[in-house]
Structure 1
Amino acid sequence: MNKSRILTGAGLGLTALLALTACNSGSPTAPGGAGEEPGGEGLWDVAEDVNLEGSPTFERMSQAGEIVIGVKNDQPGLGYEDPVSGDRTGFDVDIARWIAASLGFDEDAIEWKTIPSANREQEIINGGVDFYVGTYSITEGRDEVIDFAGPYFITGQGLLVAADDDSINGPDDLADKTTCSVTGSTPLQRIREEYGGDVVERGTYSECVENLLQGQVDAITTDEAILAGYVAERPDELKLAGSPFSEERYGVGIAEGDTALQDHINNLFTEGGDVWTALYERYLEPAGVEATQPQVD
């Protein structure tokens, strides 16, 4: 696998990304992609006469005439919903749009559904979403109850702290601290099992951010690709601490056993390197961060 190098080493590329995003955001409601309009217009066409034989998910979409996509709405640069306009922007969101178009669904046929981390598997199992794209790490436990396409991006777990806090420089400094993360997330489990300290759970990372700003917790842990967006919004108040200490492989969550849909998405990623690169360049590459598209499993 050709692994993305966006978050390796000391994370210097992220520092550059944060500075660039902060300059380009324009306002607190425009952090999705350097102030650009949502969507990947011009990067792909909506496919016609698609027939994904053997996919119960595709059959359900076709009968409904719409596609329901699970996403995040509070992760700037990845999956963000503008509270005023309702526009959805971010790398993950555009990946989802690209997949939808390849299945024959344009923007008007997409129903976006914001799903908390703890509810993702159940929504997929119950058919509440047709697929899920939202910083969704591929793990053995999840792979037992659903399937994944991808990976399409690789990042690493990091720490977010107050800008004036020099007491935390890595996970080993958390033993006497209070750390916040989201219920059902891989980072929460890793901190609790491997590093200890007082760990509190919240429904969203934005809630953790508010707790950190109010001094109610000492740190937030999740993937650095997520944390970067929050620093970009509040560069004078927040910062990343230390270097990434895991590898998180983001996949598209789909119903277990739907190999036809899985193969379709994997082929899209494999053959669509130009689109992946364009999306990466739109949201991340202008900071000078080196990255390569990972090979699918």
Structure 2
Amino acid sequence: MNPRKLSKAALAAAAAVVLSVTAVGCGDDGGGNGGSAAADDDKITIGIKYDQPGIGLKTPDGTYTGFDVDVATYVAKQLGHEPADIEWKEAKSADRETLLQRGDVDFIAASYSINDERAQKVDFAGPYLLAHQDVLIRADDDSITKPSDLNNKKLCSVTGSTSAQNVKTKLAPQAQLQEYGGYSECLTGLENGVIDALTTDDSILAGYAAQDEFKGKFKLAGFKMSNENYGIGVQKGSELKAQINTALEKMVADGSWDAAVKKNFGPAGYQNEPAPQIGVIVK
């Protein structure tokens, strides 16, 4: 056999192998990133609410504000990610477990109350905030000083929420439930006297009341009708849980947690609970 022909054949075969390997490497990673939301090690994808002032809000200019945003940014920094490395993703309440299970996000901080049903699907770091179900009333309203005073009052919450129903079932059976499409509609009704009280988590109520257009118009009743332990959701079995817990402990220790509370809830006179102990769920 001609040696030159043999050399050319060998080179052709080698080239084919290289092309084959390259094609495999350039294709879909097939989940080879271990379920991480970002292939780039410098990037991190975090789920937050986009529509809750004081908690998680996407502003018209495309920036993100709120207590959960501040907590998530601090945690990301402790994990080695600068703010510019963060990709924010909307995490609506009904979508949170799915986003984590699919690996669409690395973690979620979105007024995410820890409960047994959710804990079967995802893991939680924290808790990092203890909230309570409360009611928001007009600042000059002295007629509602205890939950039973909500009897025969018009009580608003958003469609599909269990908050108002909980009040009617357990505390004020004669309350007149009003369900609106969003909290902003409830606030407008409260401001105009069409409704008497708005109910959901006190942290969420404080965030809305702290908006510039509502400052001084509303107050929290301080009823503390339930305990809501906000946690940071991660995939089941994720090593991030321990790392996030360490970051949260540092955030409390260095004063950053208190600063974030005052920044986002202070204008509404929100009387927050002390930072909860990591791993301790208040029933």
Q: TM-score if structure 2 supplies the norm length? A: 0.69
> What is the alpha-carbon distance in structure 2 between the residues aligned to residue 180 and residue 244 of structure 1?
17
Residue among 241, 247, 250 paired with 2:227: 247
Instruction: Give the CA deviation at 1:261.
Output: 1.6
Q: Is the 8 A contact 1:159 1:170 kept in 2?
A: no
The residue that corresponds to 1:86 in the other structure is 62
CA distance in 2, matches of 1:254, 1:192: 34
Per-residue deviation, residues 18-75 of structure 1 (Å, max 9, x unmatched):
xxxxxxxxxxxxxxxxxxxxxxxxxxxxxxxxxxxxx945x44345863221212344
1:107 deviates by 2.0
Q: Which has the higher contact order (CA 8 A, sep 6+)?
A: 1
Alpha-carbon distance in 1 for matches of 2:272, 2:200: 21
Partner residue, 2:92: 116
> Could you report, residue by residue, the CA deviation over 1:86-127 in whole angstroms, capped at 9, with x for unpaired residues?
322232111111222233332222222233334333333343
- Tell me if structure 1 keeps the 8 A contact 2:129–2:275: yes
1:281 to 259, 267, 273: 259
State the distance in 1 between where 2:90 and 2:185 align. Answer: 15
- What does 1:144-155 correspond to in 2, within 5 Å? 144-155=120-131
- Give the match for residue 201 of structure 2: 223
User: Which of the residues 72, 76, 82 maps onto 1:106?
Assistant: 82
SS in structure 1 of the partner of residue 70 of structure 2: helix
- Within 2, Cα distance between the matches of 1:296 and 1:101? 19
Give the number of the structure whose alpha-carbon radius of gyration is greater. 2
- Equivalent residue, structure 1, for 2:277: 295
Q: What residue is the counterpart of 1:158 in the other structure? A: 134
Quote how far apart the aligned CAs of 1:132 are: 1.4
From the superposition, tell whether residues 170 and 147 of structure 1 become closer, same or farther in structure 2 (CA, over 3 Å): farther
Q: Report the secondary structure of 1:296's partner residue.
A: coil
Tell which deviates more after alignment, 277-286 or 156-165. Answer: 277-286
* 1-structure distance, mates of 2:162, 2:278: 20
1:265 correspondence with 2:244: yes
Query: For 1:56 and 1:96, how far apart are their aligned partners in 2?
Result: 22
Q: Secondary structure at the match of 2:239?
A: helix
Closer, same or farther: CA 110–217 of 1 in aligned 2, 3 Å: same
**Aligned residue type for 1:251:** G
CA contact under 8 A between 1:91 and 1:279: conserved in structure 2? no
2:72 & 2:209 partners in 1: Cα distance? 25
The one-letter code sitting in structure 1 at the alignment partner of 2:221 is A
Q: Which SS does the other structure have where 1:281 is aligned?
A: helix
Counterpart residue type for residue 72 of structure 1 = K
Is 1:134–2:135 an aligned residue pair?
no
After superposition, the CA RMSD in angstroms is 3.2
TM-score relative to the length of structure 1:
0.67
Residue segments in structure 1 that go unaligned for 5+ positions in a row: 1-54
Q: Secondary structure at the match of 1:94?
A: helix
Distance 1:224 1:289, change over 3 A: closer
- SS class of match (2:144): coil
Aligned residue for 2:113, secondary structure, equals coil
State the partner residue of 1:179: 155
Worse-superposed segment, 166-175 or 86-95? 166-175
Distance in 1 (CA, whole Å) between partners of 2:160 and 2:106 is 20
Question: For this pair of structures, how many residues does the alignment match?
Answer: 239
The Cα offsets for residues 105-152 of structure 1, whole Å up to 9 and x where unpaired, read as 322222222333343333333434332112222122222222211001
Superposed, which structure 2 residues align to 1:62-77 within 5 Å? 62-63=39-40, 66-77=43-54
Asked if the contact 2:139/2:217 (under 8 Å) is kept, the reply is yes
- Percentage identity across paired residues of the two chains: 40
Aligned to 2:129, the other structure's residue is in SS state strand
Aligned-partner Cα distance in 2 for 1:172–1:282:
33
Deviation at 1:216, TM superposition (A): 4.3
Deviation at residue 252 of structure 1 after TM alignment: 0.5
Distance of 2:272 and 2:227 partners within structure 1: 16
Find the residue that maps to 1:101 and give its secondary structure: helix
| Counterparts of 2:170 and 2:188, CA distance in 1 | 25
